[in-house]
Amino acid sequence: MKIKSPEFIELLGSFFSEYMPYSAGLRKNTIISYKHAFRLLMEYLYSEKGIAASSIVFKQLDYGTINAFLLWLESERKCSIATRNIRFAALSSFAAYAQNRNLDAATVFMNSVKKIPVKKHALKPRIVFSLEEVAILLRLPDCKTAIGMRNHVLLSLMYASGARAQEICDLTVRDVQFQNDMTKLTITGKGGKMRRINIAQPCGKLLKEYLARKKIQNELDRHIFSSQTHEHMTTSCIGEIFKKYIKLAKELNPSLFREPRYSPHTMRHATATHMLEAGIPLMAIKNFLGHRSVLTTERYSELSQSTVNRHIIEWNQRWFPMVESDAPENESDNKLPDFLRLK
């Protein structure tokens, strides 16, 4: 008797519960992003074609359906091209996984995905803080309070290290080494890739004082930054910290902080841009930031020029004044499988 090969839902379940976290070792944020993609696909199939999540089979995922889904993301969900490509990457990854486990059933899906190109889009200049804006932000927290001191050290460390918000959240006491006049950080980046960097001594001294003040310098497994409710701070908490100080900075400095919105990643962009403007080689910046490809780092060359252009425009204007979410779940017949819940 021939053993039945696993179908769509069964394979998708193992993709999320086994392959992504264990075989591929992907981070939680990546898994959540991929789950969003398939939740949207199931929403599309149900709302546009009447196909419930539990009834999806591979033969329904032909070229026309996948292409229509991507167009639906842009037209109905108002997703940007970048977000559309992220959702498409999730489908492509699962298609390759599924074909290796059920060749006959998944071939239609895989062939459909191969026919659809990644959509090109114009890269917007990255938003960065100027040196003056960074200095202002670092002065805003009230270091007389425990929360203010934490926020001051957190902002300072983000700029000194150029680390991503998640990397800052994951830092433990074990990841910091104080050696003579040097402070080294061991940072775990995307895909579990680790890098060791030196940070500026003033920030290192500040960090050492902070750990001593919290009395956790010998608790190696303790996270360096905690929220008021959790020992392990989340990226959303860092986002709120940035939001708080950006709002205050705009109120106190109306001539600066002119962008409509900033995120914690803006600090990473600022670090990279200021390193480049200081004459540090691209490869050194690449390794410091943990980029997989130097092509990512090269984008800061363009960004640096755009920063120069912005300053020139501001200078001209000063001296020659004449002269731009996912909807909540609804109870319906389209019941999503448990493994797609966003935990």
CA–CA separation, 26 vs 190, rounded Å? 8
CA–CA separation, 48 vs 64, rounded Å? 13
**How many Cβ atoms sit within 10 Å of the Cβ of residue 166?**
17
Domains contained in the chain, CATH given: 8-117 (1.10.150), 131-319 (1.10.443.10)
Q: What are phi and psi for residue 135, nearest 5 degrees?
A: -60, -40
pLDDT in tens, 75-124: 999 998 989 999 999 999 999 999 988 888 889 899 999 999 988 876 67
pLDDT in tens, 236-271: 999 999 999 999 999 999 999 999 889 999 999 999
Nearest residue to 10 (alpha-carbon basis) of 85, 69, 94: 94
The whole-number pLDDT of residue 102 equals 86
Q: What are phi and psi for residue 223, nearest 5 degrees?
A: -75, 140
Whether residue 308 is predicted with pLDDT greater than 70 in this model: the reply is: no
pLDDT in tens, 263-292: 999 999 999 989 888 888 888 889 999 888
The whole-number pLDDT of residue 40 equals 96
Contact 301, 328 (CB under 8 A): no
Average pLDDT score over residue span 41-48: 96
Nearest residue to 152 (alpha-carbon basis) of 165, 169, 166, 135: 135
pLDDT in tens, 2-38: 444 568 999 999 999 999 998 888 888 889 999 999 9
Positive or negative torsion for Cα 304, 310, 316, 319 = negative
Q: Model's pTM, two decimal places?
A: 0.70
How many residues belong to the chain?
343
CA–CA separation, 172 vs 179, rounded Å? 17
Burial class (CB in 10 A: 0-12, 13-18, 19+), 21: middle
| Residues β-bridged to residue 177 | 184
∠ at Cα 157 (155, 163), nearest 5°?
100
CA–CA separation, 14 vs 20, rounded Å? 9
